[in-house]
Amino acid sequence: MRIIAISNNKGGVGKTTSTVNIAAALQILGKKVLVIDIDHQAQSTYHFGYNPNNLTYSVYNVLKGEIAYKDVIIDRDGLHILPSKNELKDIEFIPLPAKEFLLKEALEGISGYDFILIDCPPSLGILTLNALTFAHEILVPLQVQFLPFHGMYNLFEAVQMVKRRLNKEVEITGIIGTMFNPKKQINVEVIEETKKRLPGKLFETLIRENVLLQEAPSWGKTIFEYKPNSNGAVDYMNLTKEILEKDVN
């Protein structure tokens, strides 16, 4: 079982789009997948077609120890989702002892999945730390339209801290270049710079800019359900195959 946090403290870089569509691609490839939405924006919960306002329980109640995760999981045609609601707030967990271990403890002994993907919020707060403490691996979406390294530096610092104090095992498996437009020089420059500074980390497959990836969430569909022949579907499938090849276990 591979437990992967999709994390970048910068907002709007493609964390949710990547989580949902990698999960969908893995399911198409025959893998058993659980997605955990640990962002109070509940974007991946929405993206999969669920309105958080209609849910009684969410990952929030699981973190608080109020209910077992198995009783909150939604079965979406075999793909399992541990949804979020906007009541999920960092601040409430801050006074708790061992607050970084709430997710790991709540999901202790979990089995039956090939992959657990965790969609993180755009911050390095308690919820992200819970994801990084539970995960074996991190995927970092990087929007290749801006020079991004200041933000990334904070993330790498946080990962080092997590490795020292909370979870020796966790590693950055790779960086996903998102919203790639080959016609824009800045995109090409960011990719070259990333390869230079972080050798071997950028996945070969780049996720091209594709408006259909933007439309799919409002229909509650993955890109494979919405437009299976789109660039977005092709790119996320190729990326997912690369992720499968990078299996370190």
Ligand X SMILES: Nc1ncnc2c1ncn2[C@@H]1O[C@H](COP(=O)(O)OP(=O)(O)OP(=O)(O)O)[C@@H](O)[C@H]1O
Output 67 or 220, the one with its CB closest to ligand X.
220
d(CA 208, CA 144) in angstroms, rounded, equals 10
b or e along 214-240 (b: 16 or more beta carbons within 10 Å of the residue's beta carbon)?
A: eebbeeebbbbebbeebbbbbbbbbbb
Instruction: By CB under 5 A, name the binding residues for Mg ion.
Output: 15-16, 43
Where is 76: in which H helix or E strand?
A: strand 74-76
Residue ranges in 116-145 that form contacts with ligand X under rule CB under 6 A: 122
**Among residues 3, 213, 239, 243, the one that binds ligand X under rule CB under 6 A:** 213
Output 30 or 219, the one with its CB closest to Mg ion.
219
Positions of E strands within 115-231:
115-119, 137-143, 171-178
The entry of ligand X, Mg ion, none that residue 4 binds, CB within 5 to 8 Å by partner kind: none
d(CA 41, CA 27) in angstroms, rounded, equals 24
Output 13 or 88, the one with its CB closest to ligand X.
13
Print the binding letters for residues 45-74 with ligand X: x by CB under 6 A, - otherwise. Answer: ------------------------------
**Among residues 187, 210, 230, 240, the one that binds ligand X under rule CB under 6 A:** 210
Output 101 or 181, the one with its CB closest to ligand X.
181
Q: Is 239 in a helix, a strand, or coil?
A: helix
Assign 3-state DSSP to the chain and report helix, strand, coil percentages, each to 5.
45, 15, 40
Output 17 or 61, the one with its CB closest to ligand X.
17
Output 51 or 108, the one with its CB closest to ligand X.
51
CA 205 remoteness from chain centre? 17
Residue ranges in 101-120 that form contacts with ligand X under rule CB under 6 A: none
Going by C-alpha positions, the residue among 91, 95, 176, 103 that lies closest to residue 135 is 103
Binding region for ligand X (CB under 6 A) out of 86-94, 127-135, 162-170, 209-217:
209-217
Answer yes or no whether residue 176 interacts with ligand X by CB under 6 A: no
**Among residues 17, 27, 128, 205, the one that binds ligand X under rule CB under 6 A:** 17
Going by C-alpha positions, the residue among 20, 23, 31, 5 that lies closest to residue 112 is 31
Which positions lie near ligand X, rule CB under 6 A? 11-17, 39, 41, 43, 122, 178-179, 207, 209-210, 213-214
